[in-house]
Amino acid sequence: MTAEDALALFNHEYDADDGLLFRFRMSDDVETERLQRFLSALEVMSDYYEGKTHVEKAIAYRVMAFRDTLSASVGHWKVSRPKGMTTNMVTALFIAFSSVFASA
């Protein structure tokens, strides 16, 4: 996946009516393959921003919105969690969100 592909996927999952941002907010089930693609996109974005002086404001805002939305939703999963949102996947997503900013 190229950096352009990763950014396009990331933005799609933010903007789409049934994107991951919406699914995280609603605590909906998510296909494991979709989460893996999104995680891969975040890892490519992290590599892309490594050594750069900054992350663009719009991208930074969206990364934080994903992180904050997922964090708020996790707090409601006391009884059950959405399919696809395993502990390992959620942890990997939080690490990947942080990694986008780690080297910029």
The residue extents of the domains of the chain are: 3-33+44-102
With a CB cutoff of 8 Å and minimum separation 6, the contacts of 56 are none
Computed over every residue of the chain, the mean pLDDT equals 93
pLDDT at 85: 93
pLDDT, tens digit (0-9, with 9 covering 90-100), for 26-60: 999 999 999 999 999 999 999 999 988 889 999 99
Q: Give percent above pLDDT 70 in the chain.
A: 98
- Please give the pLDDT value at position 103: 64
- Counting residues of the chain whose pLDDT is more than 90, the rounded percentage is 84
**Contact residues for 11 (Cβ-Cβ < 8 A; gap 6+):** 62
Indicate whether 77 pLDDT > 90.
no
- Residue 82 carries which DSSP code? -
Do the beta carbons of residue 72 and residue 90 sit within 8 Å?
no
Check: CB of residue 54 under 8 Å from CB of residue 3. Answer: no
